[in-house]
């Protein structure tokens, strides 16, 4: 946080705040993917590859990409106005995480070939409907196994690690992460 404050990305260190609370999300690595892992995502065909590419190359959150439809992509932009939410394992379309999460982001070249692979949504169950949380988790686990087999060693990362990677790559390339 100190370097982020110095570079103007944030004004305060929220961890040092007296009102700071522990993260509510799943515990995990909170890391950037390696070049090998990125290459595997880019080159290993899988039903989950579409989801991974939009998280990795556009910084979408899991719920945002699961709600993604072809109609949300036009004029070389991805318009994020909704997200999938899970309640009692069932998926439903709802609001984005915050008001500022409603945004549009560029459709970068690496993601363009995957637009054609979006059915009704970016990832669906066998009936073509929104997948339940368990179906998504099963699909994600199977995807990690596929990537591990391709790499010939264990590959494991969280969905949100793809977003971390995207934002870090943007920062490292000198892209202002505050641009909408």
pTM value is 0.82
Predicted confidence (pLDDT) per residue in 6-60, tens digit: 777 667 776 666 665 555 555 556 789 999 999 999 999 999 999 999 999 999 9
Q: Are 177 and 9 in contact (CB under 8 A)?
A: yes
Predicted confidence (pLDDT) per residue in 123-172, tens digit: 999 999 999 999 999 999 999 999 999 999 999 999 999 999 999 898 88
Q: Exposure of 50 by Cβ count < 10 A (0-12 exposed, 13-18 middle, 19+ buried)?
A: buried
Q: What are the CB-based long-range contacts (under 8 Å, 24+) for 123-127?
A: 123/47, 123/48, 123/50, 123/51, 123/65, 123/66
Q: Do β-strands 77-80 and 103-106 pair in parallel, antiparallel, or remain unpaired? A: antiparallel
**Stretch 89-100: mean pLDDT, rounded?**
93
């Amino acid at each position: 946080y100190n370097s982020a404050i110095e570079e103007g990305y944030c004004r305060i260190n929220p961890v040092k705040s007296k009102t700071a609370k522990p993260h509510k999300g799943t515990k995990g690595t909170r890391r950037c993917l390696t070049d090998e892992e990125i290459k595997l995502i880019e080159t290993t065909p899988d039903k989950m590859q579409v989801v991974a590419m939009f998280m990795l190359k556009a910084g979408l959150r899991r719920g945002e990409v699961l709600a993604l439809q072809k109609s949300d992509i036009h004029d070389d932009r991805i318009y994020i106005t909704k997200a999938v939410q899970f309640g009692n394992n069932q998926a439903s379309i709802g609001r984005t995480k915050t008001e500022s999460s409603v945004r549009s982001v560029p459709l970068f070249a690496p993601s363009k070939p995957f637009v054609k692979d979006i059915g009704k949504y970016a990832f669906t169950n066998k009936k073509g409907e929104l997948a339940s949380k368990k179906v998504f988790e099963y699909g994600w686990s199977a995807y990690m196994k596929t990537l591990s087999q391709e790499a010939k060693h264990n590959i494991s990362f969280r969905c949100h690690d793809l977003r971390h990677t995207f934002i870090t790559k943007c920062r490292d390339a000198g892209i202002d992460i505050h641009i909408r």
